[in-house]
A and B are shown apart, each in its own frame.
Chain A
Amino acid sequence: MSAAPAASRAISLEVNGEAIEYEVHARRLLVHFIRDDLGLTGTHVGCDTGNCGACTIHLEGDSVKSCMLLAVQADGARILTVEGLAGDGELTTLQSAFNEHHALQCGYCTPGMLMSAAALLEQNPHPTEDEVRVALQGNICRCTGYVNIIEAVVAVGEGRGDEPN
């Protein structure tokens, strides 16, 4: 039976467009696999309890918290981390908007904020302020007070993401 339980598993997945094969322990959290095995340290560990959203990535296009998944659960999946946003080295409009609108201070929550906002804009290219607030509810920022983050995402939807405030 292909499904015999095992303490580790050979997983194949696509990370930022690249095919990856890796043998991982079943108990390994996806965020540790991404950071420590793949070396993609843009995905942050904030609270480790599923509350802060700093570890947000896209799994099959949906935003998820990578500290609340096991790496083995991502077997066969397509993953995008913050490193994959600007795949060609040019900042995306969303990333430029964070810069122009001062949407970060210490920057710790920023990768998660970007991934949640990117998922929103993918599904809803012109979100209202309320829709942005709902979309970012799972991401905690302890510096900015959120105002500039919300403004940056709304600005992208209004086509003025790369213009200063």
Chain B
Amino acid sequence: MLLREVDYARPATVEEAIALLAGHEGARALAGGQTLVNVMKARAATPDVLVDLADLEELRGIGFSSDGLLEIGAMVTYTQLIGSSEVEVARPILAEVAATIADVQVRNRGTVGGNVCVSDPTNHLPPLLVALGATFTIRGAGGERVVPADEFFVGVYVTAVGEGELLTKISVPPASGAGDGFSGVTVGAHGTYVVDAAATVSGEGVRIAVGCVAATPVRATEMEDGLSGSDFSEDTVREAAKGLGESLDPPSDVHGSADYRRSVAETSAVRAVLQAVERRKPS
């Protein structure tokens, strides 16, 4: 397939990448390319300049910050995430969910940063990172800023990363006894999600995020409030989920009507919370 003409650059440092992104109109960062190259084929995206982040080793690491946060570089692939001992120790749900994304070949190339920066409403990681309370480090010519997950996802294909900026890493608090769950309905065994929900249950409370029902992940705040006590029995969780579907305004498409999505949203949120409760470690 013939793509539209495009210029290509492969910077050696993050600073150089930021300068290229800032200095060229229509410039776009190229991570693994598992979404971008495909949408360029369809000419749904027509960047003028591709800034390939392949050589930025700084963005490929997984480690811990001095205050104990799990730090995942934007260019970390799903396969890296799945095999990471740091992830296994600190927040295994990340590896578990990454292992269900597309297929081996895509997981070998696709990156965590690409997944979130594309901000496709059906992507796996956005609702999960919202539930986990992740933070996103964005670097630009003026320096670095840190954005919480609730503010990172702005719209369909739009995030807090502005022109001339680059997402460098995602920081996730370690589980420290919290339980995490993820549930949803896909098209086919490992296909696109129709609706998904992520939940984390800890001593500090419950966080629930629903995906595929709006442009960005939706926090199920009323359901969270309904679970502010210490009773996480199935009946209580089901009761708390009542009304979640009604509060949503999901799209209708070939995979499911809005009403179907409302119903699956409640079911998925219940399942995600129950899974999280089961995995919670007593403090």
Using a CB–CB distance below 8 Å, which chain A residues touch chain B? 1-7, 9, 25-27, 29, 48-50, 53, 56, 59, 62-65, 67-70, 72-73, 75, 116, 119-120, 134-135, 137-139
- Bound together, the chains give a CA A27 to CA B34 distance in angstroms of 15
Interface hub of B7, B34, B79 (most chain A Cβ within 10 A): B7
Determine, out of B49-57, B133-141, B212-220, the stretch whose residues face the partner at the interface: B49-57
Residues of A within 8 A of B33 (CB): 68-70, 73
- What is the CB-to-nearest-CB distance from A23 to chain B, in angstroms, rounded to a whole number? 12
CB of A5 within 8 A of CB of B20, answer yes
Q: Do B104 and A70 have beta carbons less than 8 Å apart? A: no
Interchain CB contact under 8 A, A116 and B38: no
Q: How far, in whole Å, are A72 and B51 apart by their CA atoms in the complex? A: 11
Partner of A26, one of B1, B7, B54, B108: B7
- Report if B4 contacts A (CB, 8 A): yes
Which residues of chain A have C-beta atoms less than 8 A from B27's C-beta?
Answer: 5
24 contacts between A and B (CB under 8 A): A3-B10, A3-B16, A3-B20, A5-B8, A5-B20, A5-B50, A7-B6, A25-B5, A26-B7, A26-B8, A29-B1, A29-B41, A49-B38, A50-B106, A63-B105, A63-B108, A64-B109, A68-B33, A68-B34, A69-B33, A73-B52, A75-B10, A116-B105, A138-B103
CA distance A157 to B12 in the complex (A): 41
A3 touches B37 (CB 8 A): no
Interface flag for B255 (CB, 8 Å): no
Within the assembled complex, what's the spacing in Å between the Cα atoms of A49 and B37? 9
Select from chain B the residue with minimum beta-carbon distance to A31. B1
Measured in the bound complex, the distance between the Cα atoms of B51 and A73 in whole Å is 11
Q: Would B9 and A3 count as touching, CB distance under 8 A?
A: yes
Verify B54–A137 contact, CB threshold 8 A: no
Chain B nearest Cβ from A45, distance in angstroms: 8
Cross-chain pair count, CB within 8 angstroms = 104
Contact of B109 with A69 in the complex, beta carbons under 8 Å: yes
Main secondary structure of the interface of A (DSSP, over half): mixed
B79 near A9 with CB under 8 A, answer no
* A64 / chain B contacts, CB cutoff of 8 Å: 105, 108-109
- A121 CB → nearest B CB, Å: 13
Assuming the A-B contacts A3-B12, A137-B190, are A73 and B103 also in contact, with contact meaning beta carbons closer than 8 angstroms in the complex? no
The verdict on B2 contacting chain A, using a C-beta distance below 8 Å, is yes
Distance (whole angstroms) from the CB of B278 to the closest CB of chain A:
24
User: Measured between alpha carbons, how far is A1 from B79 in the docked complex, in Å?
Assistant: 33
Measured between beta carbons, the chain B residues less than 8 angstroms from A75 are: 10
Top 6 A-B residue pairs of the complex, sorted by shortest distance between their CB atoms: A138-B103, A26-B8, A5-B7, A27-B3, A5-B9, A62-B108
CB-defined contacts of A134 to chain B, threshold 8 Å = 104
CB distance from A43 to the nearest CB of B (A): 13
Contact B4 A27 (CB under 8 A): yes
Task: For A48, list chain B residues within 8 Å (CB).
Answer: 1, 41
Cβ contacts B201-240/A at 8 Å (1 or 0 each): 0000000000000000000000000000000000000000
Asked if B11 is at the interface of the complex by the 8 Å CB criterion, the answer is yes
